[in-house]
Amino acid sequence: MVRKAKALSHFGSLMLLLVLNLQVRAQLPQKGNNAVWNGHVSPSAAYIDASPFYSGSGLDICQVLSNILTCTTQQCTPGYVPYPSSGAVIDARGIIVQKTLLPLACSTNPFSGVTYPSTVLLPATRIAIQTTWTLPSNTRIIGGGHGVTQLEIPTSGFPGTVMIQMCPGTVACTGVAIEHLRLIGQDLNHNSYAIDGIDNIYAQDGSYVNDVAFAKFGALSMTGTIVSECSHSGGTVNGLCVGPNATYSGPYTNLGFSGSSNCASNTDMCLPTACAKIQAQTRGLHGITCTGPAHAVTDGANWPRAAIYLDSYNTTVENVHVEGFFDAVVLGDYADGECGKVSGDLVSNITGASGAGQVQNTVHICNPQSQKTFTGACTAGACTPSILTLNTIAIHQVLSNGGGSGGFVASTVQDDNMPWQSAVNASGSQAYVGLYETGNSFTIGSVTAYSRLTTSSGSTIPTWGAGSGAVSGPCANGSVYSNTSTTSGATIYVCSGGSWAPVK
């Protein structure tokens, strides 16, 4: 009896082990899901590995991502598991190019129809996208760095007007982010297309772009009429364009831009090319390098008009380096039909250099009441001038390094609103402006008055200086000098007739 009892006990133990083994096997991770331990082994949908799905004859990274993101309990591609409504991290870094130097194929928009949050980690390789990626709310795409993860145009061309659009449709989105990528606006045969890199039309709070390079962007020509914000028809091809409804988005940080290689000669220019265009109140553009095509000094008519267009209010643009554009930063050009006010803006630490092509105006303030047909980027726009506002702008730390050969003279600040002299610190070598402030224009009697203050002594715009001692020498008419010394000279001096005169 004892032996029989031991046998039954042993059989029971085997059955228990078999049941436990079946339970564990039933709970083992499914394809793409990693294992977690919470008292037992189970699959985790919070982190999904996309590489196991990338197999077979129809290798398409975007189709794999789409299948993962759109899989629900009601409808799911065979072999995939339902995507959690709370969102997940999709790791596609294990998908690499094998036995070929060609880029990964991407035939579809992987985010079409997606309603749940996601963070997609892209592989460190090239991806040839055949259509626009539109990113819904709470979507983040993160590459391995702007030098290793690259989205480019296939040789068959591109049907859209932008490579990545933040927020589809006309309903506001939040939490759309793009990081650590390089976008190429030219195909492998060096053909240029009238497409933007990234357009933000309606993505607002929590939406930003960081560490993204835009390479080889620019269109040879553009025709037609303006159809919408950030449009290209009749406007410009942009690396980044932030439309007027993308309020409170940003910041836009650590960006780089280079023009198309088709714009390298004086007879084949990509004129309608811009590095970035901002038409909404944002959390600012912080850190960008814009390199245009090289130009001869005498080729001013064929320069791309401006690197950065700021047509908004309460926005900061800082830490900017520009080469090869007529204007580095232009404020108040409304050629794209974005009519509104440009005020309360801060433009700081801007360098107009001459390495890959000179810059005529480092900062250019347009005159909305009387825009010129051609002075850099200030063009006759599609707005009624009387409704435009351009005032209360702070410009700090601007360098013009135009110099170069051929007697080229660059302006550090060009203000088209000043009737007597609009160029501030024009120079054939280097020129600096530490501070240039604009207030409101107003009328005193029949005279239009301008609120301006600059630290630049090389302009005819009045300055207000202070020092301990009397002052003499040339000056800008209307300037004021305060003498803080109690032992010598007058207390107040005013510049009259180009020289200082004591008042009190």
User: Which residues, at least 6 apart from 14, have a Cβ–Cβ distance to it below 8 Å?
Assistant: none
Instruction: Write phi, then psi, for 139 (nearest 5 degrees).
Output: -120, 130
Query: pLDDT (tens digit, 9 = 90+) per residue, 367-403?
Result: 766 655 445 677 755 566 555 567 889 999 999 886 5
Q: Taking a C-beta distance cutoff of 8 angstroms, is the pair 350, 363 a contact?
A: yes
Q: Would you give the end-to-end CA distance of the chain in angstroms?
A: 125
Cα–Cα distance, 85 to 89 (Å, whole number): 12
Please state, rounded to an integer, the average pLDDT across all residues of the chain: 80
CA distances in angstroms from 132 to 56, 74, 126, 314, 326, listed in the order given: 25, 27, 16, 31, 30
> Residue 253 to residues 79, 210, 379, 417: CA-CA distances in angstroms?
40, 5, 28, 31
Query: Please, are residues 341 and 310 in contact by the beta-carbon 8 Å criterion?
Result: no
pLDDT band at residue 39 using 50, 70 and 90 as cut-offs: low
The 10s digit of each residue's pLDDT in 47-72 is 899 998 887 657 899 999 999 999 87
User: What's the rounded mean pLDDT across residues 115-125?
Assistant: 95
Residue 8 confidence class, pLDDT cut points 50, 70, 90: very low
Of the two residues 216 and 452, the one the predictor is more confident about is 216
Q: 263 falls in which pLDDT band (50, 70, 90)?
A: low
Which backbone phi and psi does 7 adopt, to 5 degrees? -65, -45
Radius of gyration of the chain (CA): 30
Q: What is the mean pLDDT of residues 107-124?
A: 95
The 3 state secondary structure assigned to 178-216 is: EEEEEEECECCCCCECCCEEEEECCECCCCEEEEEEEEE
The sign of the torsion formed by the CA atoms of 236, 251, 166, 145 equals positive
Domain boundaries, the chain: 464-502
Closest to 162 (Cα-Cα) out of 194, 190, 191: 194
pLDDT, average across residues 215-228 = 63
The predicted pLDDT at position 358 comes to 81
By the 8 A CB rule, do 222 and 233 touch?
A: yes
Tell me the pTM.
0.86
pLDDT digits (tens, 9 = 90+) for 153-169: 988 888 888 999 999 87
What are the tokens at 475? 């000056």
Q: What is the 3-state secondary structure (H, E, C) of 488-499?
A: CCCCEEEEECCE
